[in-house]
Amino acid sequence: MDTAEILKKVRQIEIQTNKLVSETFAGEYLSAFKGQGIEFAEVREYTPGDDVRSIDWNVTARTGVPYIKKYNEERELTLMIACDVSGSQKFGSSSKLKLEAAAELAALFAFSAIQNSDKVGLMLFSDKVELFVPPRKGKKHVLRLIRELVAFEPQDTGTNIGLCLETLSKVIKRQGILILISDFLAPVSSFSKPFKLAARKFDLIPVIVHDKLETRLPPVSACVDVTDPETGEEDFLCLSSGEINTALDDYARTQHLNLQALFNPYKIEPIRVDTALPPADPVIAFFKQRAKKIRR
């Protein structure tokens, strides 16, 4: 895309996302992601109904009047978005590519974060770290992140989720939220160890972006040349063969089970996004479900 097209696309995402955030996401985000601690605010006189466990016994002893300590939640969080920009992300059989869906998802999270005065950062990765933008606040910063997602041209086409997670675990010093957006088509064994380490440090939320043609091909009587977008490997496939769909089903089932085995010990619920459907819907459902769990 040229500069004018990039700016137009960024503006479209901004308008669409701002509307969603102002109407739905800001409150849901606040409910889903709590602050990571509390800070002392003040002491005040005890009034009936206050929690007696909050009484400041030192001040009470000096004054002869019961006082309690008041605390405020440390609200400011750091939200890091890690987005897969490997070759497989440039696939899509509906109105948008997986990478375009990922850009919209990243924008939803980023605008929700700055609406609540949280910092947002971005990492783009293939089989290497392609780009790292440190977390900052502000709308201008978020628009830069969206522009990178829309216009960035990666140098490599492979996928290395493990390297992404290892790098973030080293460079992000304080705990925060990590949104990991990918199609997760890489072997789970290749990133399971760094995933486990990152899950202990961050509030890690995998966002799995998939396309329906990755699990089932239409019944077409045709043979085509295909090229792997990540390795460049070529093959000749007859789409009328039922063996292809059987293989796709088997792979999808195995990958799903392997991912669940990785997520379950950390009680991680992924967000699953279909490129043919509005990407905001599963995120809203995730926020609502998470907020319910926090309130229990």
For 72: left if phi > 0, alpha if psi spans -120 to 50, otherwise beta; the answer is beta
Among 73, 99, 125, the domain-final residue is 73
* pLDDT tens-digit series, residues 158-180: 999 999 999 999 999 888 999 99
Say whether both 156 and 229 belong to one domain: yes
Among 48, 73, 98, the domain-final residue is 73
Say whether both 175 and 252 belong to one domain: yes
Task: Give the pTM.
Answer: 0.84
Say whether both 125 and 194 belong to one domain: yes
Q: Residue 192 contacts by C-beta under 8 Å, 6 or more apart in sequence?
A: 262
Say whether both 134 and 15 belong to one domain: yes
* pLDDT tens-digit series, residues 90-147: 999 888 999 999 999 999 999 989 988 899 999 999 999 999 999 999 999 999 999 9
Say whether both 65 and 83 belong to one domain: no
Give the SS3 label for residue 227. Answer: strand
**Dihedral sign for Cα atoms in the order 266, 190, 88, 169:** positive
Q: How many CA atoms, within 13 angstroms, populate the side-chain half-sphere of residue 9? A: 20
Q: Which residue has the tokens 């400041």?
A: 56
Residue 6 amino acid letter: I
Domain that holds residue 52: 38-73
Among 73, 97, 129, the domain-final residue is 73
* pLDDT tens-digit series, residues 67-96: 888 765 555 789 999 999 999 999 998 889
Structure tokens at 80: 């890091």
User: Which pLDDT score, from 0 to 100, does residue 295 have?
Assistant: 63
Say whether both 140 and 56 belong to one domain: no
Say whether both 17 and 47 belong to one domain: no
Give the SS3 label for residue 226. Answer: strand
Mean of the per-residue pLDDT values of the chain: 88
Structure tokens at 93: 């059989």
Higher pLDDT, 20 or 40: 20
pLDDT band at residue 34 using 50, 70 and 90 as cut-offs: low
Nearest to 77 by CA among 112, 39, 47, 33: 33
